[in-house]
Amino acid sequence: MDLPPVGLGTMGIEDEAVVRTAIDCGYRHLDTAQIYDNESTVGAGIAAADTDRADLTVATKLWIDALEATAVRPATEASLDRLGLDAVDLLYVHRPRGDYDPETTLPAVEAVREAGLTAHVGLSNFDPDQLVVAREFLDKIAAHQVEFHPLFWRESLLTDAQKHDYPLVAYAPLAGGRVFEEPTILNIAAQHETTPAAVSIAWVTSYENVVTIPKASSQSHLEANLAAADLELTDAEIARIEAIEREEELFPE
């Protein structure tokens, strides 16, 4: 998939006006999920915006209680009903947990794609071994969404995305706000006369095959996150951020 460097993560967004504002600001990749309980909000924002639906990439995710083979299509149709859409562009398996069984779940998701309810099938929060197994049952992995920020990232997942040429969609690029207190990030931001948020997003998107979906609610933050992808960090700055001691992930299994 050809995804823009910065999209909108919507976890916690409960106001359709935020989604509409994001689209008006230039966001073209919108990411939601069943577990976020806001697909209706995202759908209403899409409907209210002036941008053509065809110009948007809309993604949602099947939660772990919707991964039994017979549940996949009804759950997908329920998501589409809440979104007010005939199809999504990208449908993820949110986590390989709960009712997930690669031998039955993934063929069922492929069937949903073949039926035209989604254009592409993605995975989220898989480890490298689980990706290998998933490839046995999917036509292709269209995208893989994972936690990826200066304080936590897995080089093995980045390598897999680059090797197999699909986008790694980085969520929580600001580490839940923790990057605002990281000395290396603060120092680089000061040198560029910009914000820690901009540096973090620029670092994430500096990698080949990586895009990101930060959440923001105000128009100023939405615009700043979009612009951050244009910030160019030096190789030395990227290496300094890579050298930050990694902490535990914010969203473990």
6 secondary structure, DSSP code = B
Instruction: Identify whether the C-beta of residue 11 lies closer than 8 Å to the C-beta of residue 19.
Output: no
CB atoms within 10 A of CB 68: 16
> Which one is catalytic: 36, 92, 100, 166?
36
Give the phi and the psi of residue 8 in degrees, each rounded to 5. Answer: -110, 120
- Cα–Cα distance, 59 to 142 (Å, whole number): 12
Strand partners, 124: 145
Instruction: Identify whether the C-beta of residue 141 lies closer than 8 Å to the C-beta of residue 121.
Output: yes
92 is catalytic: no
SS (H, E, C) 17-51: HHHHHHHHHCCCEEECCHHHCCHHHHHHHHHHCCC
- Cα–Cα distance, 172 to 138 (Å, whole number): 27
- Cα–Cα distance, 224 to 234 (Å, whole number): 20
- Cα–Cα distance, 244 to 7 (Å, whole number): 25
Whose CA is closest to 171, among 17, 20, 51, 3?
A: 3
Instruction: Identify whether the C-beta of residue 182 lies closer than 8 Å to the C-beta of residue 244.
Output: yes
Tokens (6 digits) for 208: 């080949």
> Annotated active-site positions, please?
36
